[in-house]
Structure 1
Amino acid sequence: MKNTLEDYMNRNYPIIVSLIKDDTDTYYKVSVPDLPGLNIYVDDKKEIESELKEAKKEWFASRIKFNQKIPLPQFNNSKSGRITLRVPKSLHAELEYKAEEEGISLNQFLNYLIERGLEKGNLTNKNVVNEFYYHQNLKFKQENTKSFSLEPEESSADTVSLKE
């Protein structure tokens, strides 16, 4: 049985909202990663829901009309909040030092850096992605790396603690 326009409209596709500031204007870009090419731009956050609904409806209707494949949502919201990360000892030391300078835990500092990068779009910048792949190809000696484990803290589901 084929899915209908209504079926697709009722699916929960994750979105990415980016605040864009240029020389003269501030606006929002809203994209749906699972639906290629579906991007909208709005001046006010209040417009996001209605504009996105209309854009999705048109996107799905066009795909259905021309018998094109419509991907299902791929977002998995059942993550544990735990990340295991290996970094060189020197980077570990530098991160700890900077966290101490700020008077916060290493875990809080890492969360801050990640959130700041996501907010500014730094983690989606082509140069950053290319740099990431470059560094992934570098070979670090095992003795120069340290293993970390990020686990949810007892006090809050939204925070994670760093455990060695």
Structure 2
Amino acid sequence: MKTLKQKNNQTEKEPLEYYLNLQYSMTIDSDTEDGFVAQIKDLPGCLTQGETLEETINNINEARELWLETAYFCDDEIPFPSSDDTYSGKLLLRLPKSLHRRLAEAAEQENVSLNQYILFLLSAA
């Protein structure tokens, strides 16, 4: 796992901003009693919850930043995001207009993008 680089025979960390800009996958699950639970599996212990989907997404983004900052300043190893080069992360999907409208309205009600809302629904399935 590459987290450090060699420069003039000295080990030098990448700047903190480098790690903060890495794209980690998150999972969000619905908890019928407490709202939602989110975690980033590549960052052990990085999980949070929220009453709404929007709050949960904000909380997990804040938790990711705090996790990375803590690991960085404690000189702990920071794992790179796991990846699978087989998949681009993009999917073209055709759906009925009525379903598109219902999804868009539900996303608006949760104050999240349509993409984030559909990702939540798929990850909860």
TM-score bucket of the superposed structures, by smaller chain: 0.5 to 0.7
Aligned residue in 2 for 1:76: 84
- Rate the CA distance shift 1:26–1:49 in 2: closer, same or farther, 3 A: closer
Structure 1 outlier segments of 4+, above 6 Å:
none
2:16 corresponds to 1:5 = yes
Q: Which has the greater radius of gyration?
A: 1
Residue segments in structure 2 that go unaligned for 5+ positions in a row: 1-11, 89-122
Bigger relative contact order (CA 8 A; separation at least 6): 2
Q: Is the 8 A contact 1:5 1:57 kept in 2?
A: no
Give the C-alpha shift of residue 46 in structure 1. 1.1
Which aligned pairs between 1:86-101 and structure 2 lie closer than 5 A?
none
Q: How many equivalent residue pairs?
A: 80
Residue segments in structure 1 that go unaligned for 5+ positions in a row: 81-117, 121-164
Q: Is the 8 A contact 1:12 1:73 kept in 2?
A: yes
Q: Is the 8 A contact 1:13 1:75 kept in 2?
A: no
Provide the rounded CA distance (Å) in 1 between the counterparts of 2:83 and 2:37: 19
Provide the rounded CA distance (Å) in 2 between the counterparts of 1:77 and 1:43: 34
Instruction: State the identity as a percent.
Output: 22
Letter aligned with residue 51 of structure 1: N
Provide the rounded CA distance (Å) in 2 between the counterparts of 1:77 and 1:41: 30
Aligned residue in 1 for 2:66: 58
Give the C-alpha shift of residue 51 in structure 1. 1.6
Question: Cα RMSD between the aligned structures?
Answer: 2.0
Out of 16, 23, 27, the residue aligned to residue 27 of structure 2 is 16
Q: TM-score, normalised by structure 1?
A: 0.44
Give the C-alpha shift of residue 9 in structure 1. 1.4
Q: TM-score, normalised by structure 2?
A: 0.56
